[in-house]
Amino acid sequence: MGRGDTKLEPVDEFDSDSVEPGGELSLGFEVDALSDCMEFQEVVGIEKKSPIQPNPHIKFVFIEDSDGYAVQFVEMDEEFMGE
């Protein structure tokens, strides 16, 4: 994944019938601090999910946007990334 100033905005198009949301598609974004994503969920009213930490070097959370797509935010430490 690249680094930079990527912004993500959940958008809900009430008048669109041509899109079939959800399914097998998901988006993933690396973040510096997963705690910021957790605060974002609360601020915009997205159902808050608990982070998953399969090992000490990585933790992530999946949220579902208003169209049913899964969005993953992942935080990895520098040691795990090889930096």
Sign of the Cα torsion 79, 75, 55, 25 reads: negative
What is the predicted pLDDT for the residue at 2?
43
Taking only the tens place, the pLDDT of each residue in 1-60 is: 345 666 666 555 555 555 566 666 678 888 889 988 888 777 877 887 889 999 999 999
Distance CA 46, CA 24 (A): 20
DSSP H/E element including 34: helix 34-44
What is the predicted pLDDT for the residue at 69?
80
Backbone φ, ψ for residue 73 (5° rounding): -115, 130
Give the pTM: 0.65
Distance CA 51, CA 48 (A): 10
Both tokens assigned to 70: 């899964």
